[in-house]
A and B are shown apart, each in its own frame.
Chain A
Amino acid sequence: MTDTTVDTADKATSDDADTPVHAIVERTASPWRAPLAFTAMGLALIATGLFQSPAVALTILNMSLVSAIMAMGLNLQWGYAGLFNAGVMGFTALGGATAVVISHPPVMEALGAGGRGLALSALIVVAIIATVVFIASATRGRFRSFLIFVIVIAGYIALRPIFGAAVGAVEAVDPARTGFIGGLGLPITLSWVAGGVVAAGVAWIIGKVALGLRTDYLAIATLGISEIVVSVLKNEDWLVRGVKNVTGLPRPVPYEIELQQQAWFADLVEQVYAGQLAAISDAAAREDALRQFIVEGSGHFVKIAYAGLFTVVLLILLALCVRALNSPWGRMMRAIRDNEEAAAAMGKDVTRRHLQIFILGSAIIGIAGAMMTTLDGQFTPGTYNPLRFTFLIWVMVIVGGSGNNLGAVLGGFVIWFTWVQAEPAGAWIIEQITRDMDPSAPLYQHLQDIAAPFRLFVMGFVLLLFLRFSPKGILPEKVRHS
């Protein structure tokens, strides 16, 4: 209908220069904006640490770092290329599944029972794909579609019993504890890279099929794919145990129990809490307090260690993104986003570039997915839902500032913080409302349950507010004019 391709904000803002709200946004875009916003975010986290508890603040910090990486991946696709990827959840889950496959020790018994069948199935799948590819290139017309159809059906019929038997054998092996093939038993940090690679591979297939569709269609298609990915992970128990979950994944950081027995850690805690310990006069009480601090401190230490690892990954990815997008390649991407026809006329291969950036963005989301599973120490496919894992990331990008990498990072922090804090806030509001109510009244009982969906409400409200009054986000994209 209109000539605009994908610009969310620009179109809306350029049209209403008369609205004062946008004018203010334009004027106040100072170089201090980003440092100020990040400082405010840091203060909010510190306040959480002081008023709630340091553990809560550190937990929020860790998930914020992961969310920031996810938002950065989505920002590549949406902010820089205008691709509406509504399948963030799928890539996150793929990353998580990869973490299991890489780090869980192999279940030898299951591999012995069904490994051969699974390998044979994989061989058949490869054979089918190879034949289809061959036919697709060697024949043409109606005959080709017919042949491909026949081969896929025949292959499926051949595959089904072999695969079924193998899966049955694997899942029968001690189903209460394993019942799956396990993984490779490698260090879990390796899975962060591998998660990115797997997500990139799947993104390549999806991109081949779905890119080139108009924006809303791509959104619907990716939404569907992510549902399929998650339902595969939920139901193929032989692979990652499905909804029975894999727990107790190995960690890249020390365990609390181990830390508590280390002499150096006890010394460290003693130094950190020296002031508070000195205030206790009684020797026995001091000993008790120290033990208490060691237990508490070990938890914090683990979280800080995760935060350190995640920050390193975040900074590396951020540096790469910023560099890539300030390069001629990034300029080309923005040119394609802003006017596809003109870019195509200048000889840019729009479809290929779209595929490229779709794969890169998905890979980053996959990395974040693997990191999240590492942080949780477990993989629970049942908990993946699109509101939390796709659309929340969208809110992060829009609120942070689409097209701006720092904006995406900031959005990840701000929105995750809001998401987590909205629940206690909702509970507090309910408490204020129901303070004078009779606790046995049905309305009182009912109101107690609505604190959880309160965060959905807040998220929708925040998204709509930003989309309307500050569509460029907290940190708008920097537009350079030569």
Chain B
Amino acid sequence: MARAISTKRKAVFTVAAWIVALIIFFPILYTIITSFKSETEAIAGFNMIPSGTMESYGAVQDQYNYFKPFMNSVVLSVGSTILALLIAIPAAWSMAFSPTKRTKDILMWMLSTKMMPAVAVLFPMYLIFRNLGLLDSRIGLTVMLTMINLPIVVWMLYTYFREIPSEILEAARMDGASLWNEIIYVLTPMAVPGIASTMLLNIILAWNEAFWTIRLTATDAAPLTAFISSFSSPQGLFWAKLSAASTLAIAPILIMGWFSQKQLVRGLTFGAVK
């Protein structure tokens, strides 16, 4: 009897999970469907069955070179993630294993920087980038994306590190491990699921960042977000082409997310159940 109730509940939760997942995924699905419509079909109204035309993909390929912004997106997202991890791992170690009475305040302060609207600092940032000669450079944008995502990276790593018993690190110290050896050979391998999920999440966030990547680039460092925005037109139909460009832009990150979903979920739920 108990088994029957459990199965029923499980079925309800499964259906509910599928419904929620479909609702969340629907905008992406509809973007993909629209990319296989003609411009007239795309603006004609809601329709889940496209004619299957590839003309929008052809137009997108004719108009712009996809490879350059794609490579920029790869360099910026991977580069900013590596840089963020290099800074965040020692910072999170310090806060998790050697906290002071101000640690919580520092963590809150770091998080509070995410609450400020980006446009509020557009002019100062633009001037700094101009004066440092970093406008439209991959280096400048990598640093920018690192700074944007650093609070989340530190917070996530801090949460994972706190789940690791400090006795293990103390044992390593007793065995004569230096600070760096302790972090690299003891802490990091134990926190691999957490670090991996943080890394994946940071790559996704950096890949999708559109405010700064559009505003601080022109031709050399412009990533796929700029590629997408170039298909919006004030006079002329563009929904199908925009959808095709968006599909091309999100495809790599969707594929990466699909293959790494186990790692991502394991990392995100790490320490959630004791």
A and B assemble together: no
Give the A-binding residues of B (Cβ under 8 A). Answer: none
